[in-house]
Structure 1
Amino acid sequence: MSVRLWLSIFCISILVAAQAAAQGFAGLGRDASTFSQPERGYAFSFPEDHGAHPDFQIEWWYVTANLTDATGRQMGLQWTLFRSAIAPEEKPGWASPQLWMGHAAVTTEDAHFVTERIARGGVGQAGVTAAPFSAWIDDWHMSGDTLDEVAMRASGPDFGYEVTLSAQGPLIFHGEAGYSQKSASGRASYYYSQPFYTVAGTLFLPEGPVEVTGTAWLDREWASQPLAATQVSWDWFSMVFDDGVRLMGFTLHDEDGSDYTQATWIEPDGTTTAFPDGAFSATALATTDVAGRAVPTKWRAQLPQKGVDVTVEALNGAAWMTTSIPYWEGPVQITGSHSGRGYLEMTGY
């Protein structure tokens, strides 16, 4: 079969994935009955679970970082590798049903740089190995002997970065020991994080190289059908408070106007408390006009059981990801009952 025909098949696969966005964001609510499904009581195994799970339909390795340069200027960084499967298996070469997509971004107070890569599995262009850990697409890499210490790089037409991440705490498991429910009907994913990274390295911006330090948060998640078919969007918050506490909270929006929420409270030593639907809330306070949309970029986030009542405001309201499936992603500043920095992701706007 000719290379041109293989490329045509690959492009059709990408178009099918994009068209599926109508069924839950990016097709996350579409039928996945032939794939494996998350189950309660799963025994995570490392380093194996840092690697790919081709029998599940979707998976990601998702890093966000809050950074500061030598002058005190605040910035943010994103590095993401997505895996999506059209069949629950892996095959060598062009027969692989695994599709890969990479997103990278840098956000400053007055600029947002973003780029995207797309690859087909099985030919070496993209993939993940567990030991030693390596996640890559083209020349973008996140790799190290273990996930505790990794070097990460990516580049686009007008920016790039090379940074090192060092874990200063344990892995965190969300929901019920890593079984993270996403809907009242029981849809779920496997979900753990490394929210204790420190970061140091260099951003390559149009102004020149910028040395930065800061903190980073890795999310690892895999599933096959994590959203209900009627769930159309979500808002995801990661917060790193100045006292060392971390908080993850998300709100999933249904087409009937109802919401489903979950949250994880993370002590500085890694002790966690999971909060069920309804405990965490996020209320939009102000919007920014971006990409022809009114996107909420200032929020009131509350977790009353922990005394959290904060304002979460975007560093740059124009942090729109102009990727194949567009969304908003950027660094935020936190004030109120707790102060700190974090990241916000919003889809469906």
Structure 2
Amino acid sequence: MKARTWTRSRRLAIRQGENSRASAGAWLLLGSLLLGGCEPPAPEPKSFAGLGQQAGAYRPVTPNPELVFPRDHGAHDGFRIEWWYITANLQDAQGRDWGAQWTLFRSALRPGPETANWVSPNLWMGHAALTGPGSHKVSETLARGGVGQAGVQAQPFRAWIDDWSLQGTDGIGQLDMRASGKGFRYQLKLVSGGPLVLHGVKGYSEKSGKGQASYYYSQPFYRVSGEVEREGQRVVVTGQAWLDREWSSQPLAPGQSGWDWFSLHLASGAKLMLFQVREAQGQPYRAGTWISAQGEAQPLLGEQIELQPLAFTLQDNGKRLPTRWRIRLPAQGLDVQVEALHSKAWMTTRFPYWEGPVRVSGGVQGKGYLEMTGY
């Protein structure tokens, strides 16, 4: 089976309702087919979505990076995986809460630069979701690199897959964000009001303590305005958004099954990113960043973070996931509870995971997003 077999249908999409549950091996098989081979799939990896597979000839992530902007807003040839990830906490005129997610993943099938046509090494995958009162709607689309269907350029900034797009008018300081799926769409304008934040040490973010890491920065200071539409009903919304940028070649160790990740906008103006990567055996690896209202970043290490699941929700796939958590940061005097707005925000995508808006209560109020993978 050769690549030209696929040229009659450039668009590959998995929409809500197909209930896709493909394994990491199936994703790798799809990649080999698109490259033009009929190799058997790779063995099922132990880590979520194969992210713990050995990096091989891909470029390594090493300490003391020198991130340069706007260059690093763009794609990074030679690294195996990267993403452009936006989550937005929104509210309408009636005071109802909404959440919008826009994500673009680049996955390299082999090391090397982008090339034209079907010999490109890159696959692209887009996820979009709209969470609103009583519903969580999801869409996914896949694309082949090298044919113009998907990509990212740094200057002027543009990220797209099919008709979903992030379009920058001032680097990434201002973005127009658009996506749609079955029964929903959104069109939002994002304007940043603070600096970029580098996580870990100068953007080098460890994930295991054993050498696995990513380059990781965020823009957590977006103000948002625009419109969401659900089942034909349009709603004007405003709110806050958070952009995450990561790239790596092996972000997980083979024995790490997945992660729990939080991005929180606190009423004080401070921001908080934290995550734990769960180990098949042993304690999870925890890290994070405390961000002042002025954008000053303070790295958080595992012993500074207390993270406890408080309540679990049975998802439609039969799995029970923690949808209410307690977070304590003693050094910052923070002790809060984080609870999902929609407890069944399960992403019915090729690699299923949970992603949805949350509210913060307790010592301080706030809003944010929670992502849980590998369950």
TM-score, normalised by the number of residues in structure 2: 0.89
Alpha-carbon separation, structure 1, partners of 2:42 and 2:218: 30
Is the contact made by 1:104 and 1:155 (CA closer than 8 Å) also made in structure 2?
Answer: yes
Q: Which residue of 2 aligns with 1:326?
A: 352
1:182 to 207, 210, 213: 207
- Are 1:310 and 2:336 an aligned pair? yes
The alpha-carbon distance between structure 1 residues 2 and 189, as it changes in their structure 2 partners (threshold 3 A), is closer
In the TM superposition, what is the alpha-carbon distance from 1:29 to its structure 2 partner?
0.4
Q: Is the 1:20–1:30 Cα contact (8 Å) retained in structure 2?
A: no
Equivalent residue number for residue 233 of structure 1: 258
Kindly report which structure 2 residues correspond to 1:114-125, keeping only aligned pairs within 5 A, or say none: 114-125=138-149
Alpha-carbon distance in 1 for matches of 2:47, 2:326: 25
C-alpha contact 1:151 1:165 (8 A) present in aligned 2: yes
Secondary structure (helix, strand or coil) at the match of 2:298 reads strand
Counterpart among 296, 302, 306 of residue 277 in structure 1: 302
- 1:188 CA drift (Å): 0.6
For 1:38 and 1:101, locate their aligned partners in 2 and report how far apart those are by CA, in whole Å.
22
**Alpha-carbon deviation of 1:6?**
6.4
**How far 1:314 sits from its partner (Å)?**
0.2
What's the CA shift for 1:109?
3.2
**Deviation sequence 1:128-168 (CA, Å, 0-9, x none):** 00000000000000011310001010000210000000000
Q: Is the 8 A contact 1:54 1:98 kept in 2?
A: no
Change (3 A) 1:181 1:32: same
Q: Distance in 2 between matches of 1:167 and 1:192?
A: 14
Residues 13-92 of structure 1 aligned to structure 2 (within 5 Å) = 14-16=27-29, 22-89=45-112, 90-92=114-116
Q: CA deviation at 1:13?
A: 7.5
Q: Output the CA distance in 1 between the equivalents of 2:369 and 2:44.
A: 24
Q: Distance in 2 between matches of 1:246 and 1:280?
A: 15
AA aligned to 1:319 is A
Secondary structure of 1:183's counterpart equals coil
Work out whether 1:137 is the aligned partner of 2:161: yes
Evaluate the alpha carbon distance shift between residue 216 and residue 91 of structure 1 in structure 2; reply closer, same or farther with a 3 A threshold. Answer: same
Deviations 1:153-197 (A, max 9, x none): 000021000000000000000000100000121211000000000
Shift of residue 91 of structure 1?
1.6
Aligned equivalents of 1:135 and 1:54: distance in 2? 15
Work out whether 1:206 is the aligned partner of 2:231.
yes
Match of 1:223 in 2: 248
The offset of 1:272, in angstroms, is: 0.9
Tell me, yes or no, if the aligned pair for 2:45 and 2:254 is still in contact at 8 Å. no
* Alpha carbons of structure 1 residues 20 and 181: separation in structure 2 relative to 1, 3 Å: farther
The AA in structure 2 aligned to 1:110 is: G
CA drift of 1:255 comes to 0.3
Relative to the length of structure 1, the TM-score reads 0.96
After TM superposition, the runs of 4+ consecutive aligned structure 1 residues lying more than 4 A away are 5-8, 10-13, 17-21
Report if the CA contact (8 A) 2:184-2:232 is conserved. no
Q: In 2, Cα distance between the equivalents of 1:301 and 1:57?
A: 32
1:4 lines up with 2:17 in the alignment: no
Could you tell me which residue of structure 1 aligns to residue 22 of structure 2? Answer: none
- Residue 128 of structure 1 is matched in structure 2 by 152
Residue 257 of structure 1 and its aligned partner are, at CA, apart by: 3.8
Q: Does 1:336 align with 2:362?
A: yes
Q: Structure 1: how far apart are the matches of 2:44 and 2:334?
A: 34
CA distance in 2, matches of 1:345, 1:124: 30
Q: Matched residue of 1:78: which SS?
A: strand
Displacement, 1:223?
A: 0.3
Deviation at 1:211, TM superposition (A): 0.4
**Which of residues 322, 326, 332 is equivalent to 1:300?**
326
Other structure's SS at 1:278 match: helix
Letter aligned with residue 262 of structure 2: F
In structure 1, C-alpha distance between the alignment counterparts of 2:164 and 2:289, rounded to whole Å? 30
Measured in 1, the distance between the counterparts of 2:292 and 2:258 equals 29
What's the offset of the Cα at 1:2? 6.3
The answer on 1:161 being equivalent to 2:186 is yes
Identity of aligned residues (%): 51
Residue 276 of structure 2, aligned match among 251, 254, 264 = 251
SS in 1 for 2:110: coil
- Structure 2 residue ranges without an equivalent (≥5): 13-24, 32-40
CA contact (8 A) 1:236 1:345 kept: yes
> What does the per-residue CA deviation read over 1:77-107, in whole Å, with 9 as the maximum and x for residues that have no partner?
1000000001111221100010100000011
Alpha-carbon contact 1:260-1:278 (below 8 Å) kept: no
Q: Secondary structure at the match of 1:325?
A: coil
**Secondary structure, aligned partner of 1:22:** coil
C-alpha offsets along residues 212-244 of structure 1, whole Å, 9 cap, x if unaligned?
000000000000001111000110001110010
Report what 2:20 is aligned to: none
Number of equivalences: 349
Give how far 1:339 is off: 1.2
The separation in 1 between residues aligned to 2:232 and 2:183, in whole angstroms, is: 10
Report the more deviating stretch, 19-28 or 85-94.
19-28
> Where in structure 1 are there 5+ consecutive unaligned residues?
none
In structure 2, distance between residues paired with 1:267 and 1:224: 30
